[in-house]
Structure 1
Amino acid sequence: MRYLWGLIIFCTGLVNAAETSMTNQTITIQPSNIPDWFIMDGRLEPIDQGTVSAQTSGRISAITVDVNDVVPAGQLLIEITNTSQSAGQDQAKAAVKAAEARYTDAERQRLRLVELVKKGSISKREYDAAATEAEAAASVLKQAKAELVQASENLGYTRIVAPYAGVVSARHVSLGETVSPGQPLLSGYAFENMRVVASLPARYVSQLKEDTPLQLTFPDGQELTLKQHQLFQFADPASHSFTLRANLPKQNTPVWRNGIWVKLAMPLATKPKLLIPESAVLRQNELSAVYLVTKNGYVLQQVRLGRNYDGQVEILSGLQSGETVAKDAYAVIATQGGHYAP
């Protein structure tokens, strides 16, 4: 056997089992059925986010928030000068009053002629003219009221309020700047409803079911179990993986922050694994080995390692079920008076 180990004293041959007397310090390898996970890198993002734009022209007269501010729903964000909009509303109100007066007079005249036409005092033609005038006055009144609604709406556009409770993520204008309809003002997102987004390789798609629980782990170690998720029906053309999204529970304050990276774990089918304690493994750079127990003593056996499971490590190759290894590889060296030097 050739290993790039450096120098390991007393490890080049067999160690006499009778001399070591460590029969109580060995472990016989047996397959273990333990849960397995596929771990993905995920990123938190808000479900609702967007940019507030100007819907009228004017000059920015007030900005009450800045980037990173947490705002409740309905809070005033930006105010635009409203001189022309207020004048337009006043003009529309005056037009409504004039139209109401005209309609009232025309309708009164029509009702007065109803009785007269029944008595034959006036001709039907005169009544029809009065009815037409009343109908025209009603149309003018309806149009005036619609223009008042539009003018009031334009006046309301001068006060930009938060559409939902959220965090301001960008500011696109400054105080005193003149804006026009469609110009972006502020960007933000709702912190109450967040979700994690990850990429699932195609080979694992068949193992993900509708009721498969996902385990979310934050950078600070906090864990959440997400029972609902959504898998896209199409693959990304560049990575050939599928987008996986899962909603987080609703939060009243921005605890889970937008854009942070997290770990999203998906349970896989349970398969038997060969596990040994971490203490049984000798490591040198990328090479690993264990002390295999034979009828003549210990012999160094190279192995390939897999994942760690709560103090135990998976053996991918180098050992078979039923073989026995030393629980503490470094104790074997110490018992023989040797030492390990990389």
Structure 2
Amino acid sequence: MKKHIYITLLVGAITLVSCSKEEKSVQNQDQPISVTLSNTTFSNTSYATASGKLVSKNSVNVSTRMMGYITSLRAEVGQQVSAGQTLVSINNTDIQAKGGQASAGIAQAQANFNIAKKDYERFQNLYKNQSASQKELDDMRARYEMAKAGLQAAQMMKNEVNAQYRYTNITAPISGVITAKYAEQGDMASPGMPILTIESPSILQAQVLVSEQDITLIKQGMAVKVVIKNTNQEVNGTVTEVSRSASNTGGQYMVKITVANSQSLLPGMYVNVQFPFKRSGSVNTDFQQGVSVPKSALVEQGQLKGIYTVSSSNTAVLRWVKTGKIIGDEVEILSGLDAKEPYIISANGKLYNGAKVSVK
């Protein structure tokens, strides 16, 4: 009999504890979650995004005007060079021969000039003493002028040879880094064909292609945001060049942006450039007024993205939304959330669909 009494008491105690937990759980579920709301607003600015890459503003191809074999190539990709530094030497045997001929021509022309000058001066004195006729003086003057012109021509020939010498020893036109090498020692250099490329990374430009519907809104001097794709680093930029022709760029327009604080960046990095467009009156009517929310307000479940709103009965409602561009810490909402509609930006508990909430 006592055993049955103990079993009955034990079952009763367990039932009371279980009921107590259920009542407590119900009470916790009935407790509203404190939330903070934020109202979406119309943005007075729309954005267009274009992709491209960074290039050096100061970039030159090193080439020669002489044809000949490369006898020396003191340059490697990645090497830092200074303006005036000798990089390439080209065989100059032919130029040396021409230089010798030019020197010999100068010597001959100088001798002829000296003789003609002395004869002219002699006939000037004879003419003063009436020992020479006017015709003889004129002939000596003509001979002197011809000898003088011949000497000048020989000297110009020597200058031309010296100029050609400079093209056989090619120096760096700017200070920078060698980024490309198109020939090796022993190769034949041709006039106009690049041998090296030197870039100065101190000033970088972002070059992007913009569609025809946006190009008319982009102005020189416009401030833009440049986002490095690899690191997601964001830097400021200024539009410096806007092309008005798309004939050579496949129907899109080239825009160049000077990038600020580019010390840690390298040419060739891929970027996204965000162009802001202000709306006023009837201008830019093709743009729809967009809604943007903070990234922290979004809820992600797999590939779906949603945001919590508050119903008329003060319960949380999960609304699935379609997102667009990411601009800084803001995400553009394309559909699923109306403009000026309040949404939950933060909560003091774990939200779920249908949870009771209280607005702070």
TM-score range, shorter chain: 0.7 to 0.9
Q: 1:81: how far off?
A: 3.1
Aligned equivalents of 2:147, 2:248: Cα separation in 1: 63
1:214–1:132 distance in 2 versus 1, CA, 3 Å: same
Q: Which amino acid aligns with 1:203?
A: Q
**Is 1:182 equivalent to 2:191 in the alignment?**
yes
Give structure 1 stretches of 5+ with no counterpart: 1-15, 337-342
Larger radius of gyration: 2
CA contact (8 A) 1:278 1:313 kept: no
264 and 140 in structure 1: CA distance in 2 versus 1, 3 angstrom threshold: same
Partner of 2:267: 258
Q: Tell me if the contact between 1:200 and 1:243 (Cα under 8 Å) persists in the aligned partners.
A: yes
The residue type paired with residue 102 of structure 1 is N
Q: CA deviation at 1:302?
A: 3.7
Shift of 1:134: 0.9
| Structure 1 residue corresponding to 2:140, chosen from 92, 113, 130 | 130
Asked whether the 8 Å contact 1:288–1:302 carries over to 2, the reply is yes
Instruction: Please give the residue correspondences for 1:324-339 in structure 2 after superposition, counting only pairs within 5 Å.
Output: 327-328=346-347, 331-333=350-352
Cα deviation for residue 193 of structure 1 reads 4.1
Which residue is 1:244 aligned to?
255
> In 1, are the aligned partners of 2:309 and 2:317 still within 8 Å (CA)?
yes
Is 1:86 paired with 2:105? Answer: no
Quote the Cα distance in structure 2 between the aligned partners of 1:181 and 1:239.
32
Paired residues of 2:208 and 2:256 also in contact (CA < 8 A):
yes
Aligned in 2, Cα 1:184/1:199: closer, same or farther, shift over 3 Å? closer
Q: 1:21 to 1:205 in 2, by over 3 A?
A: farther
Matches within 5 A, 1:1-342: 20-22=30-32, 24-27=34-37, 29-31=39-41, 33=43, 36-177=46-187, 179=188, 181-182=190-191, 184=193, 186-191=195-200, 192-218=202-228, 219-235=230-246, 239-248=250-259, 256-269=265-278, 273=291, 275=293, 278-279=296-297, 281=299, 283-286=301-304, 288=306, 290=308, 292-295=310-313, 297-307=315-325, 313-320=331-338, 321-323=340-342, 327-328=346-347, 331-333=350-352
Distance apart, 1:261 and its partner CA: 0.7
Aligned Cα RMSD in Å?
3.7
* Distance 1:262-1:135 versus aligned 2 partners, 3 A rule: same
* Aligned-partner Cα distance in 2 for 1:19–1:199: 55
What SS class does the counterpart of residue 164 from structure 1 fall into?
Answer: coil
Shift of 1:236: 5.2
Unmatched segments (≥5 aa) in structure 2: 1-25, 280-288, 356-360
Distance 1:153 1:299, change over 3 A: closer
1:340 match: none
Amino acid at match of 1:133: R
Give the TM-score taking structure 1 as reference length: 0.76
Q: Post-superposition shift, 1:64?
A: 0.8
Q: Say if 1:99 and 1:140, in contact at 8 Å, map to a contact too.
A: yes
> What letter matches 1:224 in structure 2?
V
Residue type matched to 1:332 in 2? Answer: L
Q: Residues 6-61 of structure 1, C-alpha deviation per residue, up to 9 Å, x if partnerless? A: xxxxxxxxxx9x96442632526342647553332221123344433343344332
Q: C-alpha separation between the residues in 2 aligned to 1:250 and 1:295? A: 52
Aligned-pair identity (%): 20
